[in-house]
Chain A
């Protein structure tokens, strides 16, 4: 069982599909960080980068995988919540705040995207 509290230096991983990948910039569009619910991510939970990427790619043929620390997500004035689901004990979500799930602020989504580091990209294979 993972700790309910996600540590500041823990990484949060998110897969990015082709449609949200900005080829010109070689990065995701901020559209990849917009959802009607929270932004689903996988916390690292003590796993290394390779294992985190591998699990995401086993679920979906993502174009890329990016990551940011919980500290970086919180610095964008968001709330990081551990929400395990069946089949994924690492599932977590980035919410707008403790009381609001959806991130409606486009500026927040842009900041999250800017903080994200691309750790896997099909283009590099």
Chain B
């Protein structure tokens, strides 16, 4: 086991960046569940789709203008918007027909989406892993080298987390969304069109996930099957943090991300196992999560 400070630091940064991705994906998952009571099994699959779309747009642009990190920005923005539209459409055509249905049926609908979207990805992009290679100079930190892109990811993650918090806490629409977590009746009593709020929350959640997939492309190659690894970890995050709680999701993301990246150092095969142990402990000790309220359980 390496014990020098440099490699520990690298592990810390890698854990933090991982935590950011977990947060960006899980916050949407948590919000969708909190507002609509729908557990979106396909959330990470839509994340994956966002990554593939980002890749294609970037590759297209890079073909014209050459390899550059700047081209990633328009690609990510376009993919985020595309997934916002796809999320909106999915909520409008499929998910909304599940409100009030029994839980297993809701789960099955989003489970079917995993299969469908997964195969569509295979149809369009094939089975090989895809990755964007950017010419980034590693940065020396305490005798080891760190990819400075990690800092960028952590910063972007924090900014988006801040924006999300601002949206939920300070804007009128955000306040309505938060109110919907606690009482649907109250929101419709205020004369607000619930269906639009639902579609917005679903689309927003999916778009943030797609955004994170795009931003991560330069350091993590994407491939089929990654969605299942991620969704299981996101379930862990959301359960540990408490469904519907953004603060809880943030703290749990940090916990899971950092635990994951340090356990790789100690016991490479056991990283997920350790997270599951935390998950099981939380589920048994506080099933409503660290920051959730017991009422909603």
Do A and B form a real pair?
A: no
Chain B residues proximal to chain A, CB less than 8 Å: none
